[in-house]
Structure 1
Amino acid sequence: MSFPLPDLPYADTALEPHMSKATFDLHHGKHHRAYATKLEELVVDTPYADMTLEQVVRKSYADYKKGDPKATAIFNNAAQHLNHSFFWTCMTPGGSKPSAAFVEAIDKEFGSFGKFKEAFVAAGVGQFGSGWVWLVDNKGKLEIVKTGNAETPVATGLKPLIVADVWEHAYYVDYQNRRPDYLKVFTDNLADWAAASERFAG
């Protein structure tokens, strides 16, 4: 595959009890894999086949905004593949702690790390329907951004630091319709804030 599922640094049971193996297998093994497989089919004999995944996302985004129907399908699958690949790197068993420099930047922008997490959860809860909630670096300014469906800040030049998936398949098995509970667990027990700190510093 030109766009394979990336290897993960933890086992399918490693995020329990906060994310069950049943959710993990459904999310990674079925939903994410389906996007990657469909993308492979769509790019055959197109210029996209020789691009990196991020290049496909950026090019297909520009083309679908111009009304190209084939580019729309390619973008949806490429962006979902990219978003999910990033999402798995945003979690670690038991969560992790942010760096002092990252906390200082968060405090400056949001008042405190606690207030930031509250705002992040609120944004995710407020995303109507399927989508994502992100913390991004917008040219040195930290911002919480929510996107619908497959939309991604990568396509518009923002630098993602961390993301939570708020499609129902990310949480419904474990939390039913309690998206706020899932997002609070994500920020408190799953999020790899150390990795986000490294992205911010890099």
Structure 2
Amino acid sequence: MSELNAEHGAKAEPAGFAVDMTLGERLRSRRKAIGKTLQQVATESSLTVGFISQIERGISTPSLASLYNVAQALETTVDHFVSKAPARNHSVVSHSGQRQTYNMGDAARSYEFLERGFPDAKLNACLSHLPPGHITEIMSHEGEEFVYLVSGTMRYEVDGETYLCGPGDTLHFDSHKPHRGENIGTETAVELWVGTMRLFPE
């Protein structure tokens, strides 16, 4: 991770940084290493102080998009916090059953990162597996996004409007608008997320 951080202009982790730390412990360690307060991180990531505190204490886990915002506020990248960062390969095709699945400490919620087909690609995509009852925090971030619900039943809120979606339904919106999603069904929901926000560096 030190090479990754150096490449992106971020400060190196303090000595003794343990590879088996939880997501919350990693966030707290990084925040203290660069001397930022909970309020600063919350403000810069467009989240609440209470939510950042809950992440650090292991009470809540952020969505992938919110983790991106937090990583930016902590002057590092998402790679530093996920269970295992995706390999930096470029492939025109990705095959079902061969993609890497990863999480952020919540085994019930997982992601399959779909490789960008070529360097400097504008679109980024992943398959999100969301357990029943899962609800994300309200978030906003750069870019725009398109969501295709593969399976399950989701309720989405975008800029104050509510949308009920089933298999085959889609959303397309400006990611700067406050938004969130909730699995209101009884089975794991699978959504294809495509956005212009680069979740992982090249």
**TM range, normalised to the smaller chain?**
under 0.3
More strand by share: 2
More helix by share: 1
Q: Relative contact order: is structure 1 or structure 2 higher (C-alpha 8 Å, sep ≥ 6)?
A: 1
TM-score normalised by structure 2 residue count: 0.27
